[in-house]
């Protein structure tokens, strides 16, 4: 798996029990239940590979996400993952 060159993200790792650098895996996790959609970008602790999901959309109405973008989430579009990884917001 190749990591894209994104901003470093520091997050307390639940496995290491310490603040660690997390790398963008370039993969999304999409959870659609009923009328709400959750989308996460998956990060991984560089030390122990523990994963952490960064929420991009939480309990969002499907209509608020463009079909194009939604398709890219499902296909784990690398470019999109990098774009989100570089988005400080």
Q: What is the length of the chain?
A: 89
The answer to whether residue 45 forms part of the interface with Zn ion (CB under 5 A) is yes
Residue of the chain from 3, 9, 50, 76 that contacts Zn ion (CB under 5 A): 50
The answer to whether residue 13 forms part of the interface with Zn ion (CB under 5 A) is yes
Residue of the chain from 35, 36, 47, 71 that contacts Zn ion (CB under 5 A): 47
Residues making contact with Zn ion (CB under 5 A)? 13, 15-16, 20, 45, 47-48, 50
């Amino acid at each position: 798996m190749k990591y894209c060159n994104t901003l470093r993200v520091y997050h307390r790792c639940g496995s290491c029990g310490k603040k660690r650098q997390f790398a963008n895996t370039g993969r999304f996790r999409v959870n659609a239940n009923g009328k709400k959609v959750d989308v996460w970008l998956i990060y991984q602790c560089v030390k122990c590979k523990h994963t952490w999901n960064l929420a991009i959309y939480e309990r969002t109405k499907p209509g608020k996400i463009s079909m194009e973008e939604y398709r890219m989430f499902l296909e784990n579009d690398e470019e999109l993952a990098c774009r989100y990884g570089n988005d400080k917001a």
